[in-house]
Amino acid sequence: MGIDFKHKAMDEVYSILLYNPNNVDDIVKKNLISNLTEYYTVVEEYEKCIHLQELLKVMEKDNENNNQTSWW
């Protein structure tokens, strides 16, 4: 696999996660975020790492909100 093809594939997955996040299961999404963060760290695209970490934080916050039970 050439580096250009790999980079294009990673960018495509990155776009799907950021712009169509509801199309991906949460467990798969977390694994993808981890793998993409690792990849973008190696190729020194740190801005994408920041966006991925922000997405992960939003997911965790949403999960916390969904897990809270109401007593009313």
Distance CA 40, CA 28 (A): 18
* Predicted confidence (pLDDT) per residue in 11-57, tens digit: 999 999 888 878 788 899 999 999 999 999 999 999 999 999 999 99
Cα Dmax for the chain: 57
Alpha-carbon gap, residue 39 to 42, rounded angstroms: 5
Q: pTM for this structure?
A: 0.78
| CA distance from start to end of the chain | 56
Task: Say which residues have a Cβ less than 8 Å from residue 16's Cβ, sequence separation at least 6.
Answer: 23, 24
Higher pLDDT, 39 or 69: 39
Is the pLDDT confidence value at 69 over 70? no
